[in-house]
Amino acid sequence: MAGRPVCLTPARLERTPLGAPFAPGFQDSYHPAAGGLAQARHVFLSGNALPERWRDRDTFTILETGFGLGLNFLAAWDALRGDPRGPARLHFVSVENHPFPAADLADALAPFEELRPLATALVATWPPPIAGFHRLQFDGGRVQLTLLAGDARELLPQLEARADALFLDGFSPARNPDMWSPEVVRELARLAAPGATLATWTVAGGVRTALSDAGFRVEKRDGFAHKREMLAGVRDGEPPAPARQSRRAVVVGAGLAGTMVAERLGSRGWGVDLIDVHEKRTGATVGLVRPIANLRDAVNAQASRPAFLYALQHFRALQHDGYHLVWQRCGVLQLADGDDEAARMAAIIAAQEHDPAFLRFVDAAEAGALAGRPVRGPGWWMPSGSWVSPGSLAVALLARAGQGVRRYLGRRVERLEREGADWRALDAGGSVIAEAPTIILANAFDAKRLLPEARLRMSSVRGQVTFLPPAAQRALEIVVSGSGYVAPLPDGGHVVGATYQHDDAGDDIRAADHRENLARAESMLSGFADGVDPSELAGLAGFRATVPDRLPIVGATQVPGVWTATGLGSRGLLWAPIGAELIASKLEGEPSPLPRDLAGAISPRRFLS
């Protein structure tokens, strides 16, 4: 069983005779001819008493049904930019079953000239129509859009959030009854904070009844344009007093996972003490970022899609915000190992209907054209696959985090102890290195030693990569993978990897491993390693923390105040960004960037059952 399609049917942009965007599948307009932006401001912003209600808040969350053109999101973002007392972070969560392609979205938003800078930023980060959760960030992370791409009835139960305001903006209840069904309204009530407000342009009797039955007090107000009335409402209950938690954390491990967590927390105003046993971190010159696909569309493949798209978006945001990140979206070609695997790879694409901008099958001739040289056969082409320099990434992340992150390098954490409300990280002499109410173990395999009661299942696996110097006969500008990988290096030449050795603690560089890596390269790219002497090559050895189910270990443990970000295996650049965002979101009480089931699948608590 190859699983159901992973892509949605995108919306098709048509227009009414008056020029309003029109949805032929629902026989309804996206907004009235009188003006979508004016409706967004009258119905949804004023109907929820915004911007007044969000002023002086640390965070504020809006939940919307029906993203459509994104006008309500853009109107809220525009209002935030014009409000000096707006929240430090605005979360906008929206569900959409038929998202527009980026080009159509740009066309639909083009008439709204005053929103042009915001619309341009939205279109530039717009994801392909892949089902699931997509988190996009704007204005240096102050504005977060979490797009739930798919059926509201399936995705809202997977959402973990607490909404302060609801924008109910699906197509007409008569034409899209599923969006207004009692089951959807019950989920909205679950997600609404006590005292949350709502607004919608419809006053249909069934909608009013469903909202009242779910615990909302609703009333009619003056509508917009030709609609004489609209609805506004409030969730029963008193709004909770803002929680003032101590925003301090200790992160053990200053590798990729730990640095990512430190930056995500630091971006939210946390003070972070980052501890590492090494004085200086050395890692691979480049690492790969690519999604996973398999025949059953197993959990690791499902989780890899939001992780991959978030990682690309996060790296792009770092670069856009002026932090020097060395990376390249050059594309990754994954070659089949023989006819049977080629047939399986083609079958996966056919059955799961991947968007070709995300993942597609290519024959041997096209694969060779993409690589610019003969390759061993067909495979998958991932146009957005990338290589990233982990060293430059660490520098960029710590620069963005700023002075909120203090580093304690060359310090080994021997044990943890609880003292009052704080966790303490102690060295071998019993001295406190750092302490805070929250501690995140991001120290790879060593997390098992510090927290044995979590029963984390990991192995330490040695890997060595080989560096090839530049040569005219080795021209290759994309990444080729399959039997290992070959990737271009930023300063010329290539890296080939990697060996995979259990129960081996040696960090020495071995000619035998170089020969093994060169054989991998040769199996994919005939003649690529001609004339190379393994004994004269440089390389690098490191250690991966691998997990039997091939998923990372990210989230809260059963021990209060202790979290993990480990078990990334050979896909650290894929898992670390979304894992860090998940931890920061949960600690802040913000909407989760992952569906409930996928967050549970990577939780450290899965090993306790």
Euclidean distance between CA atoms 150 and 307, whole angstroms: 17
CA distance 133 to 127: 10
Instruction: Count CA atoms within 13 Å of residue 257 on its CB side.
Output: 31
Burial of 523 (0-12, 13-18, 19+ CB in 10 A): middle
**Residue among 553, 562, 549, 608 nearest 450 (CA):** 562
Do 89 and 268 meet the contact criterion of CB atoms below 8 Å apart?
yes
Query: What distance in Å separates the CA atoms of residue 134 and residue 93, rounded to the nearest whole number?
Result: 10
In DSSP notation, 337-405 reads SSHHHHHHHHHHHHHHT--TTT-EEE-HHHHHHHHTS--SS-EEEETT-EEE-HHHHHHHHHHHHGGGE
Q: Where are the alpha helices (DSSP H) in 50-151?
A: 71-81, 102-109, 116-125
Q: Which residues of 357-368 are buried (b: 16+ CB within 10 A; e: fewer)?
A: bbbebbebebbb
Distance CA 6, CA 132 (A): 9
Contact 195, 165 (CB under 8 A): no
Do 302 and 598 touch, CB atoms closer than 8 A? yes
Strand 459-468 and strand 163-168: the pairing is unpaired
Phi/psi for 572 (5° steps) reads -60, -40
Task: List 145's β-bridge partners, or say none.
Answer: 92, 136
Residue 338 backbone dihedrals phi, psi, to 5 degrees: 105, 170
Calculate ∠ Cα 146-148-149, nearest 5°.
130
**Placement of tokens 């004023």 in the chain:** 46
Do the beta carbons of residue 545 and residue 539 sit within 8 Å? no
The stretches in the chain having pLDDT less than 50 are 1-2
**Side chain identity at 327, as an amino acid letter?**
W
Element (H, E) at 306: helix 299-320
- Angle at alpha carbon of residue 40, lines to 13 and 236, rounded to 5°: 120
Residues 6+ apart with CB under 8 A from 493: 467, 468, 469, 470, 474
CA distance 375 to 369: 9
The first and second tokens of residue 374, run together, are 């003969």
Distance, CA of 112 to CA of 63 (rounded, Å): 23
- For residue 284, the model assigns a pLDDT of 65
Measured distance CA(489)–CA(467) in Å, rounded: 9
The whole-number pLDDT of residue 122 equals 98
pTM listed for this prediction: 0.95
Token pair recorded at residue 33? 């001819």
What pLDDT does 1 receive?
A: 37
Beta-sheet pairing, 386-388 with 327-328 = antiparallel
Cis peptide before 51 (omega within 30 of 0): yes
Neighbouring-strand partners of residue 415: 426
CA distance 362 to 35: 45
Residue 161 DSSP code: -
Instruction: Give, rounded to a whole angstrom, the gap between the first and last alpha carbons of the chain.
Output: 27
Q: Crossing angle of helices 256-266/390-401, nearest 10°?
A: 20
Q: Does the domain formed by 14-235 have CATH 3.40.50.150?
A: yes
pLDDT of residue 242: 66
Sequence ranges of the domains in the chain: 14-235, 248-283+391-458+549-608
For residue 498, say if its preceding peptide bond is cis, omega within 30 degrees of 0. Answer: yes
Query: Cβ(486)–Cβ(517) under 8 Å?
Result: no
Residue 557: per-residue pLDDT = 98
Tokens of 485: 């990988």
Under DSSP, is residue 43 helix (H, G, I), strand (E, B) or coil?
Answer: helix
Nearest to 355 by CA among 128, 558, 564, 196: 128
Six token digits for residue 194: 């006590």
Q: Which of 596, 602, 584, 464 is nearest to 89 (CA)?
A: 584
CATH architecture, domain defined by 248-283+391-458+549-608: 3-Layer(bba) Sandwich (3.50)
The pLDDT value given to residue 128:
95
